[in-house]
A = this chain, B = another copy of it.
Amino acid sequence: MCFPRKMLSMLPMLLMVLKGNVNAVALFEATERNCSLSPPYLPSTAVNSSRQLQELREHMLASDVAAYVVPSTDAHMSEYIGARDARMAFMTGFTGSAGTAVVTPGKAALWTDSRYWVQAERQMDCNWELQKDVSISSIAEWLTSEVPNGGRIGFDPFLFSLKTQEDYAMSLESSNRSLKSMPGNLVDRVWKDRPAISPDSLIRLPDRIIQRSWQMKVEQIRNQMKENPYQPTALLLSALDETAWLFNMRGDDIPYNPFFYSYTLLTMDEIWLFLHTERLTEELRAHLNASCGGPLCVQLKSYDAILDHLKAHVSSRSGVKVWIGTEYTNYALYEVIKPQDKLLSSSYSPVLITKAVKDETEQRILRDAHVRDAVAVMQLLMWLEKSAPTGKETELSASAYVNHCRSKQKDSRGPSFETISASGPNAALAHYSPTVESNRKLTADEMYLVDSGGQYLDGTTDITRTVHWGTPTALQKEAYTRVLMGNIEISRTIFPSGTRGVNMEMLGRKALWEVGLNYGHGTGHGIGNYFGVHEWPVGFQSYNIPFREGMFTSIEPGYYKDDDFGIRIEDIAVVLPAHTKYGHNYLTFDTVSLVPYDRKLIDVSLLSPVQLQWLNKYYESIRRLMSAELERQGLHEEKKWMLRHTEPFVESGSSSRGRSSSPALLALAVAALCNVALETCTLY
């Protein structure tokens, strides 16, 4: 046990915690700030925000605004943001993914949700108050009390969605405080060492994984514009994956997401692409037909030129109508499309809707990526099966291991999100990823959940498996089996084309509900070909678009017992036609993730005959597809492991029979134990 740093400075805190219910760790150093002490107690993780606050306030004064709002998003409403967009973190010290900071001349406040309250108390100094009701009406209420009557509240319209602006405007409506849209961001003026744009060249996807050239996609989108009854003359693309998809290009501006900062403005006879043009190689300029002037030539513009260009485009011509997707267009671009009859809006642009349905090649290569990805996940599970019970491995080492295994696979481009590697009670926390502080040893006494994914040139993966290396409790086994039943019930369901995911997602919960269990998150999200791990128009949430053939979605029910364990089973599935006795145009799912579930956790007696049949059929697919791949990669031990774990289950009331019916299986298990290779994935 080592002695803490900064022992003297935290003496008041030590005394305080001694009075309460504290555990051994808390005694050594309070990890959260205490602003009610004099002087305030600040942990070593807190960031001094005085300079940036002072400078921001000077700029606010010069701009005559009594408050300034600093959101945590970027100009493209991205799910993940690049380092140069982390303005909220720069101002506050708080690095969580969601929040809003507001500064007045005398006060500063941060709003974030319950996931991040502890983190905010660790990272912020006492310049900042923490607000816990994250509704915009709560922020507006605070603003009304802090900003004098008649005062103006400044915001960067590039960082507000239409909805955000509308919500603020509505909440402040009768308050006599007005919103002031200020396109030049004030934080950026203060942020001296703001990270620069990546100098890396952008890439184009190789022809071998492309079915539609960007010219074909442009034609496809233009046809949709022509067919639209509201007769748009232009289409503005704001989400980063829209431009990346349209031009078959990728970049590295956003962690885990192969995107590059960009906008596209498309008309029937022109294409303007706004990006950091210095990052285009000659080959890419040729790819984009950047030197000609016809309807299939791309006119390159500077990223920062979008606002002026759009303004000029809208005002210079009569009869202009610009189509935008409101979910991803920022308020700065929206507010220059005036008057209203120059605007056509839908929740999602036609590019996002079109992109959601994968063409034949995209389906094939996304399946291919899942075959290779399954190799890496099997290597992790096989290794854990041997290593975890030794007590030498941790959440972090397991996370590193699976990342390493993925990196060895063809066309790997790193993880698609930060791996959730969670043992025991950690797995019951939403959004948990291990840190040095939280890192937990893996043991045969705890369940372990690993939710991870890879980026490959041909596809993005996302899979969760939950395992137990010792003896699960009855509840763990029942909950796991019912989560699996949920996964199976969604996967095998047959539904009319155009059914919404939200109307089917209860199938993922039904088996849990029957015994009074449930889970508190969504049941799945879209995914695609080397994009962000969440392709939002697709999935099981209320705002998702209806399912059509060729869409890919995750299916991920779970169950979480606070302070004890967490279960999630996540697979990716593609929507395919179902052949029914009487009907046409019916669909079903086909699972493309190819990793077996933990047999030890399945109580076969709970499964219905059709569920068991589905499971055995799925295992047949794994055996067929993965045998070939594992052999191709020369991974014989992995193949044996896979075959052992995908033995067919026997239909019976007895759950134990399924586990140990085959003497051959036992023999294989013994053989496997005698053949340990500690890091088989590195052999490839």
A residues contacting B by CB (< 8 A) are: 173-174, 339-341, 475, 493-496, 499, 502-507, 510, 513-518, 580-584, 586, 608
Choose one: B339, B506, B516; the contact of A586 (CB below 8 Å): B516
Most buried by B among A173, A493, A506, A580: A506
Q: Which of B173, B339, B340, B584 contacts A516 (CB 8 A)?
A: B584
| 8 A-B pairs closest in CB distance | A516-B583, A516-B580, A515-B581, A516-B582, A494-B513, A174-B341, A503-B506, A494-B514
> In the bound complex, how far is the Cα of B583 from the Cα of A229, in angstroms?
51
Q: CB-CB < 8 A to A515: which residues of B?
A: 580-583
Chain B contacts for A505, CB-based, 8 A = 503
In the docked arrangement, what's the CA distance between A580 and B504, Å? 23
Q: Quick one: given A515-B580, A516-B582, A516-B583, are A340 and B174 in contact (CB under 8 Å)?
A: yes
Q: Which residue of B lies closest to A585 (CB)?
A: B516
How near does chain B come to A332, taking the closest CB pair, in angstroms? 24
A258 to chain B, nearest CB (A): 35
Shortest CB–CB separation between residue A83 and chain B, in angstroms? 40
* Copies of this chain, whole number: 2
Q: Enumerate 9 A-B pairs (CB-CB under 8 Å) in ascending A order.
A: A173-B340, A174-B340, A503-B505, A503-B506, A504-B506, A514-B580, A515-B581, A516-B580, A517-B582
Report the separation of the CA atoms of residues A586 and B581 in the bound assembly, to the nearest whole angstrom: 36
Indicate if the CB atoms of A516 and B341 lie closer than 8 Å: no
Across the interface, name the chain B residue whose C-beta is closest to A493: B510
A341 to B340, CA, bound (A): 27
A585 vs B516: C-alpha distance when bound (angstroms): 8
A411 CA to B434 CA, complexed, in Å: 68
A513 & B341 in contact (Cβ 8 Å cutoff): no
Chain B residues, CB < 8 A from A340: 173-174
Task: From B174, B496, B502, B581, give the contact of A503 (CB < 8 A).
Answer: B502
Residues of B within 8 A of A504 (CB): 506
* A513→B502 CA distance, assembly (Å): 17
| Structural contact, A583 and B517, CB atoms closer than 8 A | yes
Closest to A559 in B: B582
List of B residues within 8 angstroms of A341 by Cβ: 174
* Chain B residues with CB below 8 A from A518, complex form: 496, 583
Contacting pair B174 A513 (CB below 8 A): no
In the complex, A514→B582 CA distance in Å? 9
Write out the residue numbers on chain B whose beta carbons fall within 8 Å of the beta carbon of A173: 340
- Chain B residues within 8 Å of A516, by CB: 494, 580-584, 586
Q: Distance (Å) between the CB of A450 and the closest chain B CB? A: 25
15 more CB-based (< 8 A) A-B contacts, given A494-B513, A503-B506, A515-B583: A174-B340, A174-B341, A475-B582, A495-B506, A496-B513, A502-B503, A506-B506, A513-B580, A513-B583, A513-B586, A514-B580, A515-B580, A516-B582, A517-B582, A518-B583
